[in-house]
Structure 1
C-alpha cells in the first residue's frame, strides 16, 4: 500500500478544525449515547474501521448492549430502538447517503416529531462531523484498533 499522510502527525492541524463541533455537540441537549449510536451507524455506512472501533468501545462503556450494536445495520427491522433513535438513524442515513436535493419529507417529519429545532440542527452537525472524520480516516488511513476510551475527550 502507498505510504499515506499520517493523521496522527501532519493531519492533526486539520483534525483540530473539527474539535469546536465536538465541543458544541457535547453541550447540546442531544444525548451522548444517541449521538455515539448515530456516529457508529454513519461509520458503518462509510466503512470507517477506525471510527467503528472507537464508537463501539465508547458505546460499550456507556452501557450499550452487544445486541444493539450487532443489529444496528438493520435497525429498521429490529424492535429494540426507540422512536427517537429511529428518527435520528433515519436522519443520519438520509444525510450520509444523498439521494436527492432534499431529505424526504417523511424522514424530516419523523425527525421533527422527536427533536426540537435546535436539537435537529445539532444532530445534523453531528452527522456532518462524523462524515468528515470518516472521510479523513478513509483517505489517509488510521491506526485501527489503537483507540482508547476517552482518548479524545480533552479535545
Structure 2
C-alpha cells in the first residue's frame, strides 16, 4: 500500500471545501451515534478502509459500540439495531447504491416514520458527504494510519 499523493497538500481548497461540508452536515446530527453508524456502513459498502477505520474509532469514543461495529454489515440479521437505525441504514445503502433501484417509496415511507423531511434531507446529504470522502480516499490510495 502506498499513498498516491496527498490531496490535502495538492489541493488545499478542495480539502477546505470538503471540511466545510463535513462541519455543516455533522452539526445537523444531534445523535452522533446514528451519524457514525451511517458513515461506517457507507464506508463498508464502498470498501474504504481509511474512513471505516476512522469512523469505527470515532464511534468507540462515544461509548461501548463494539458490537454495533462488528455486526453492522449484517444489520438486517441481528436485533441489536433500533427501527430508527434500521431505516437510516437502509436509506444509506439505497442512496449509496442509487443506480440499482433508486429509493423506493416504501423505503421513503419507513424512513419518514422516524425522520422529518428536513432530517431526511440531512440523511441524504450525510450519505453524499461520506460517499465523497470515500471516493477521495480510495482514488488517492489512503489507508488507516496514513496521516
TM-score, normalized by the shorter chain, greater than 0.5? yes
In 1: Cα distance, 2:3 partner to 2:19 partner: 26
The CA distance in 2 between the partners of 1:124 and 1:80, in whole Å, is 23
In the other structure, the counterpart of 1:120 is: 120
| C-alpha separation in 1, matches of 2:56 and 2:129 | 17
Task: Give, in whole Å, the separation in 2 of the partners of 1:64 and 1:131.
Answer: 26
Partner of 1:42: 42
Normalised to the residue count of structure 2, the TM-score between the two structures is: 0.90
Structure 1 residue 10: Cα displacement: 0.9
Paired position in structure 2 for 1:131:
131
> 1:15: Cα distance to partner?
2.2
1:67 aligns with 2:67: yes
Further displaced range: 22-31 or 108-117: 22-31
Asked if the contact 1:41/1:73 (under 8 Å) is kept, the reply is: yes
SS state of the match for residue 63, structure 1?
coil
The structure that is helix-richer by fraction is: 2
CA distance in 1, matches of 2:5, 2:146: 17
Give the unaligned 5+ runs of structure 1.
148-155
- The count of residues paired between Structure 1 and Structure 2 equals 146
Whether 2:86 is the aligned partner of 1:86: answer: yes
Following the alignment from structure 1 to structure 2, what is the Cα–Cα distance between the partners of residues 96 and 63?
A: 27
Counterpart for residue 20 of structure 1: 20
Asked whether 1:95 is paired with 2:89, we answer: no
Deviates more, 1:12-21 or 1:136-145: 12-21
Query: Aligned in 2, Cα 1:143/1:11: closer, same or farther, shift over 3 Å?
Result: farther
